[in-house]
Each structure stands twice: as structure tokens, then as C-alpha cells.
């Protein structure tokens, strides 16, 4: 397994808008390597979640860790899907490694029920709320080509994307 970091795609890269394909049995070896590299990339960023499309892979794979910094609790979810979402909504500030430095309050279902397969092939299911619930919804959105800014009003989204474009242009100019 490699812990070599991967480049993170930034908005407006069109690959971030593609729907990822399901991981199949023949993908197992590459998924093990990719998930290890994704975790290394996520921790180095630093972030708490990363979806395969963010590193240029079209697979339905996410990694996340919402545990305390001194006691990591990495999770690797293969083919995750939201089975149910609560009607109650919650607002939480979100950011994204593909939109560096951009944060906004996003309204999402307060609780979700999620099913996935682990690297061991076993099926898992959990009900999540709070930070884990938001992180699962955010990363699963990535697998469907959806970014957190898509949950904002058109005005807020456009302001944020313009600000990011300006910052990235300035950063490129400075390098």
C-alpha cells in the first residue's frame, strides 16, 4: 500500500461534475491502494473527508475521519449510498478541499442512514448525525458530481466561485 499523496482537483475542473461509477470486484486491488493514498492526501491537506472524484478517480469511493486529531478513526466507504434522510434539517458550516479557503453554511438533513461496503467486502450500515452525518452527505454528493456550493443560493454560489477563481489566479501568478 502506498501512502503517496495525490493532487486534489480544484473547481472548475470538469471531472468534479462527473458521476462516479460503482466499484466492482475487479477493482479491489486498485481500491486498496487508492484509499490509502486518499487517506494520506486527506490528512496532509488537512481535511476530514475526500471522495475519489476529487483526486481524478471515477470510482464510488470515499474516505473520512471525524475522530479527534490525537486518535484518528479513518473510514473507507466503497459504493456508499444514502438509504434514508430525516425531514428535520440542520445548518452547518462546510468547506471543501476542492474549493480551498471557501466556507458557507449549508442546510442538509439532520440525520441520514448510509450503507456501504468496507475494504474487507463486508456490508455496513449506520445512522449518522452531526459532523459525521454532514461529512457523509458532502462526500456522497461528490460521487454524484455535486459540490457543497450547489446547496447555496445562486447569488452566494456565484460570489464564492468568483472569489475562489480570483484567489487561485493570484496564487498562480505569485508562484
| CATH code of 148's domain | 3.90.45.10
Contact in structure between 129 and 119 (CB atoms under 8 Å): no
pLDDT at residue 12 is higher than 80 = yes
Position 25 scores a pLDDT of 87
Contact in structure between 80 and 31 (CB atoms under 8 Å): no
Q: Which residues pair with 89 in a beta bridge?
A: 109
6: in domain: no
155: in domain: yes
Q: Give the CA distances from residue 51 to residues 4, 6, 38, in Å, rounded to whole numbers and listed in that order.
A: 16, 12, 8
Position 175 scores a pLDDT of 57
134-158 exposure pattern, b = at least 16 Cβ within 10 A, e = fewer: bbbbbbbbbbeebbbbebbeeeebe
pLDDT at residue 75 is higher than 60 = yes
The residues, ordered by sequence, that sit 6+ positions from 131 with a Cβ below 8 Å of its Cβ are: 48, 66, 92
Among the ranges given (97-111, 124-138, 158-172), the one the predictor scored with the smallest mean pLDDT: 158-172
159: in domain: yes
3: in domain: no
Position 49 scores a pLDDT of 98
Reported as a single tens digit per residue, the pLDDT across 50-63 is 999 999 999 999 99
153: in domain: yes
Q: For residue 129, give its domain range.
A: 14-174
Average pLDDT over residues 129-147: 98
2: in domain: no
Position 173 scores a pLDDT of 65
The Cα 38–Cα 40 span in angstroms is 5
110 among known catalytic residues: no
Query: Considering its fold, how many domains does the chain have in total?
Result: 1
8: in domain: no
Catalytic residue among 94, 127, 129, 139: 139
In this prediction the pTM is: 0.94
The Cα 72–Cα 57 span in angstroms is 24
Position 174 scores a pLDDT of 61
Rounded to the nearest 10°, the torsion over CA 131, 97, 151, 107 is 20
Contact in structure between 105 and 91 (CB atoms under 8 Å): yes
The Cα 76–Cα 153 span in angstroms is 31
If pLDDT is split at 50, 70 and 90, which confidence band does 2 have?
Answer: low
Reported as a single tens digit per residue, the pLDDT across 25-48 is 889 889 999 999 999 999 999 999
84: in domain: yes
Amino acid at each position: 500500500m502506498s501512502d503517496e499523496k495525490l493532487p486534489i482537483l480544484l473547481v472548475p475542473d470538469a471531472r468534479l461534475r462527473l458521476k462516479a461509477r460503482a466499484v466492482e470486484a475487479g477493482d479491489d486491488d486498485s481500491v486498496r491502494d487508492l484509499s490509502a493514498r486518499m487517506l494520506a492526501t486527506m490528512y496532509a491537506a488537512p481535511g476530514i473527508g475526500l471522495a475519489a472524484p476529487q483526486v481524478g478517480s471515477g470510482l464510488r469511493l470515499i474516505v473520512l475521519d471525524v475522530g479527534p486529531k490525537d486518535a484518528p478513526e479513518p473510514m473507507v466507504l466503497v459504493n456508499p449510498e444514502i438509504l434514508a434522510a430525516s425531514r428535520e434539517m440542520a445548518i452547518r458550516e462546510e468547506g471543501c478541499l476542492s474549493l480551498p479557503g471557501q466556507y458557507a453554511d449549508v442546510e442538509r438533513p439532520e440525520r441520514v442512514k448510509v450503507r456501504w461496503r468496507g475494504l474487507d467486502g463486508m456490508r455496513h450500515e449506520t445512522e449518522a448525525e452531526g459532523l459525521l452525518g454532514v461529512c457523509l452527505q458532502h462526500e456522497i454528493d461528490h460521487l454524484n458530481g455535486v459540490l457543497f456550493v450547489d446547496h447555496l443560493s445562486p447569488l452566494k454560489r456565484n460570489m464564492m466561485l468568483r472569489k475562489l477563481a480570483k484567489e487561485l489566479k493570484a496564487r498562480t501568478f505569485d508562484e
